[in-house]
Amino acid sequence: MSVDLEKLAQEEYKYGFVTDVEQEIAPKGLNEDIIRMISSKKNEPEWLLEWRLGAYERWKKMKEPRWAFLRYPEIDFNDISYYAAPKSNPRPKSLDEIDPEIKETYDKLGIPLEEQKMLAGVAVDAVFDSVSVFTTFKEKLAEEGVIFCSISEAVEEYPDFVRKYLGSVVPRGDNFYAALNSAVFTDGSFVYIPKGVRCPMELSTYFRINAENTGQFERTLIIAEEGSYVSYLEGCTAPQRDQNQLHAAVVELIAHNDATIKYSTIQNWYPGDKQGKGGIYNFVTKRGRCVGRSSRISWTQVETGSAITWKYPSCVLEGDNSVGEFYSVALTNRCQQADTGTKMVHVGKNTSSTIISKGISAGEGQNVYRGLVEIGKNAEKARNYTQCDSMLIGDRCGAHTFPYIEVRNSTAHMEHEASTSKIGEDQMFYCRQRGLSAEDAVSLIVNGFCKEVFKELPFEFAVEAEKLLSVSLEGSVG
């Protein structure tokens, strides 16, 4: 593998451009006034402001968690701006009302907001810094009773839902970053699927960080009523900047009886440059509650971006016969660090969970799988299957696995498989002997390694994910 591919390591991050748009940016720093300002900008009811302030009170007393296998300098939470929004029309009724610069941004990102140009069958909520700028296909979805809008709009239009479910999965004092998010969250998506409805299209949110020195704190809430089904996908990119930027999101999913929520993520935040300068710090709390019997929540993530990833999409399996799944590909190249995995908390009877994690480390990347499988004392006949595989490319990177298993019921059935492999010289040589270049060989082998996860993604996005992985791997052979 001593091919000279170092030049490819300089491969530009394709999404690193900045959109020049007039923005309203809150002064740096976090205090009650800022929270009041965010709340009033969004015309929020009193209870939500109180909820935010309560979260802030808790957050002030919390310590930043340092148990993860991540190294980064202390974050100065007063050196961040907590709100940035384009000055143009805050809630456009049609595309014509959107700032052309913003529309062009999404075009450049390959997410055209014109419905006829979209991938057939995918509705998009576009979040630009702190606000949702547009949601497509709303009317079509409304015909089925599906609500898909920004969370700010939901607060105004569907306050009862928001009040009932906000914080019901991730309480505002759950952890340091969730508390921070609860205090200052700005926008995100809201999805409600009524009883018995199979959502007719893929829903997706595209998160774009644009402004400098701001954090993005979005909050997503998805509720699937009895017997409903929804597949939701989020994508993320950010400009290339020398400073690190903070992204701390909270996602809450609720699945009632026989409901299924499939949540996929393709995370491609700016990862920083070769020397490790810049990049997004991604501290995210994602959790789903399978409250109903035979409900199912499935997380699929492809994590290729961010300088730091701290993320454990989890399932609380409360309903009997409920199912939780976690399929993950995490790639760390250059100086990226990822500490990611899942928690499967089995509460109900006959609950089952599957965890398939594929970690790929290249360059000086550090990749951690951290997972907890917890079988409660009443979770009769719970089952878990865990498989974590790590692949190393080169000799300066690292892979680490921290699986925790806590079983309080003797009828549980647990399986755990783990492997670590170095990308095989023999595999490389075999492919090259057949005529493939070294970089094509790496990409082929790694994509094969991730196949089990990619097949869980909606088709269009599986193709995207493969491409993204190849691009992210460029320069990893050298």
Partner 1 sequence: MLEVKNLHVQVDDKEILKGMNITVAPGEVHSIMGPNGSGKSTLAQVLAGKEAYEVTEGEVTFQGKDLLDLEPEERACEGIFLAFQYPVEIPGVANTYLLREALNAKREYRDEKPLKHVEFGKLAREKMKALGIDEDLLKRSVNTGFSGGEKKRNEIFQMQILEPTLAVLDETDSGLDIDALKIVANGVNSMRDSGRSFIVITHYQRLLNYIVPDFVHVMVDGKIVRSGGKELAHELEEKGYAGF
Give residues in contact with partner 1 (CB under 8 A). Answer: 1-3, 424-427, 429-438, 440, 444-445, 447-452
Please, what is the end-to-end C-alpha distance for the chain in angstroms? 7
Closer Cβ to partner 1, 2 or 410, answer by number: 2
Q: 392, 411, 413, 414: which is closest to 401 by C-alpha?
A: 392
Cβ at position 472, least distance to partner 1 in Å: 17
Structure tokens at 140: 């079509």
Cβ at position 435, least distance to partner 1 in Å: 4
Q: How far is CA 197 from the centre of its chain?
A: 25
Closer Cβ to partner 1, 193 or 450, answer by number: 450
Cβ at position 262, least distance to partner 1 in Å: 21
Cβ at position 257, least distance to partner 1 in Å: 36
Closer Cβ to partner 1, 175 or 354, answer by number: 354
Cβ at position 318, least distance to partner 1 in Å: 34
Closer Cβ to partner 1, 49 or 436, answer by number: 436
Q: How far is it, in rounded angstroms, from Cα 328 to Cα 330? A: 6
- The per-residue DSSP string of 243-311 comes to SEEEE--EEEEEE-TT-EEEEEEEE------TTS-SEEEEEEEEEEEE-STT-EEEEEEEE---SEEEE
Structure tokens at 117: 């140009």
Q: 47, 348, 364, 18: which is closest to 208 by C-alpha?
A: 18
Closer Cβ to partner 1, 2 or 78, answer by number: 2
SS3 category, 315? strand
Q: 419, 407, 354, 358: which is closest to 385 by C-alpha?
A: 354
In this structure, the strands spanning 84-86 and 23-25 are antiparallel
Question: Could you tell me if 189 and 127 are in contact, meaning their C-beta atoms sit under 8 angstroms apart?
Answer: yes
As a three-state string, the secondary structure of 24-85 is EECCCCCCHHHHHHHHHHCCCCHHHHHHHHHHHHHHHHCCCCCCCCCCCCCCCCCCCECCEE
Closer Cβ to partner 1, 8 or 118, answer by number: 8
The contacts of residue 417 (CB under 8 Å, 6+ apart) are 386, 387, 388
Q: How far is it, in rounded angstroms, from Cα 110 to Cα 251? A: 24
Closer Cβ to partner 1, 222 or 438, answer by number: 438
In this structure, the strands spanning 122-128 and 131-135 are antiparallel
Cβ at position 268, least distance to partner 1 in Å: 22
Cβ at position 61, least distance to partner 1 in Å: 47
Cβ at position 460, least distance to partner 1 in Å: 18
Cβ at position 424, least distance to partner 1 in Å: 6
Cβ at position 445, least distance to partner 1 in Å: 6
Structure tokens at 407: 């079983």
Cβ at position 394, least distance to partner 1 in Å: 15
The contacts of residue 115 (CB under 8 Å, 6+ apart) are 136, 137
Closer Cβ to partner 1, 27 or 424, answer by number: 424
Q: How far is CA 223 from the centre of its chain?
A: 17
Closer Cβ to partner 1, 3 or 62, answer by number: 3
Closer Cβ to partner 1, 168 or 447, answer by number: 447
Question: Could you tell me if 354 and 383 are in contact, meaning their C-beta atoms sit under 8 angstroms apart?
Answer: no
Closer Cβ to partner 1, 160 or 426, answer by number: 426
